[in-house]
Amino acid sequence: MLEIRGLTKRYGRVTALDGATLAARPGRLLGFLGPNGAGKTTTMRCVFGLATPDAGEVLWDGAPIDAAARLRFGYMPEQRGLYPRMRVADQLVYFGRHHGLRATDAKTRAAALLDRFGLADRARSKLEDLSHGNQQRVQLAAALVHDPALLVLDEPFSGLDPLGVATMTEVLRERAAAGVTVVFSSHQLDLVEEVCEDVAIISAGRIVASGGIDDLKASSGRRHLDVEIAGAGASWPGSDGGLTVLERDGDSVRLLVDERADLGAMLASAQARGEVRQFSYGPPRLSELFMDAVGDGSSAPDAAR
């Protein structure tokens, strides 16, 4: 279990983290969300000792993280994180050995991972000779080679094709199922909604929402109503009910409604306009929760990385 408590980090006059607090549980995928410059990378760096927080602490299984604990962590930084001119298998062995594996174990693990990712025949190629997608697979393999108990990935899905996204998702889920604590940052909210159980949303250095995605949705006061009325066009619901129209597309409309809204009356009102083809009521999407939580915080300074 990874706990981050009251983490504060300033770079000169820029406050990158301002008392960020969150927890990631083993066996679950935590999506770490936030606008650019909100403090995601800084938080990850604090976990790996690459940045020393001005205040607050990072705990692993209840204890402050030391060098020995860090050997059991796997980190995949945002860009590359590998030697372009080094052979693929050699890199994996090298990183494995840095994490305390013996040479023979590192070799075995590296070969197994390359096999798993279908890269066994490229083991002796230089990294820069591989396609972009394959380079990212190697990057993931490098973070996995020592079988870490905590896996932290910075934007693992950025730039992946659908196939790559599928592989990445599968591997992350598999690791989580094996009891690993997995944290990754992403801007692809729909993907996070699909892949993760938990999310933490950071804005301007503060965690503004965190917990299970379903819990967050349930506890959100807002509900959405999607209604499609054949031929009604823009005429429904009119302006009488004080309802907020979020999106309108032809005959479809998405409304923001209150938890206590009278759905029966609304359905009757809709049916009075024409044939109701869709009438669905539910919690907000993750992207809507995100926008709510972050508000206008996206103007956070970009230098805070």
Residues at the site binding other proteins, with contacts judged by CB under 8 A: 45, 48-52, 67, 70-71, 73, 75-86, 90, 94-95, 97-100, 142-143, 303, 305
Closest contact distance (angstroms) between CB of 298 and other proteins is 20
Amino acid letter at 47? V
Between 15 and 210, name the residue whose CB sits nearer to other proteins. 15
Q: Which is nearer to other proteins, 186 or 210 (CB)?
A: 186
- Is there a contact between 204 and 17 (Cβ–Cβ < 8 Å)? no
**DSSP readout, 238-274?**
TTTT-PEEEEEETTEEEEEEETT--HHHHHHHHHTTS
Question: With b meaning 16 or more CB within 10 Å and e meaning fewer, what string describes 35-70?
Answer: bebbbbbbbbbbbbeebebeebebebeeeebeeebb
Of 153 and 199, which has the nearer Cβ to other proteins? 153
Compare residues 106 and 266 and give the one whose CB is closer to other proteins: 106
Helix 162-177 and helix 132-144, axial crossing angle in degrees, nearest 10: 10
As to burial, measured by CB atoms within 10 angstroms (0-12 exposed, 13-18 middle, 19+ buried), residue 28 is middle
Least distance to other proteins, CB of residue 303, Å:
7
Give whichever of 63 and 163 is closer to other proteins, judged by the CB atom: 63
CB 270, min distance to other proteins, A: 53
Shortest Å distance, C-beta 47 to other proteins: 9
What is the phi/psi pair of residue 39, to 5°? Answer: 120, 10
Nearest approach in angstroms of CB 52 to other proteins is 5
The token pair at 245 is 């129209």
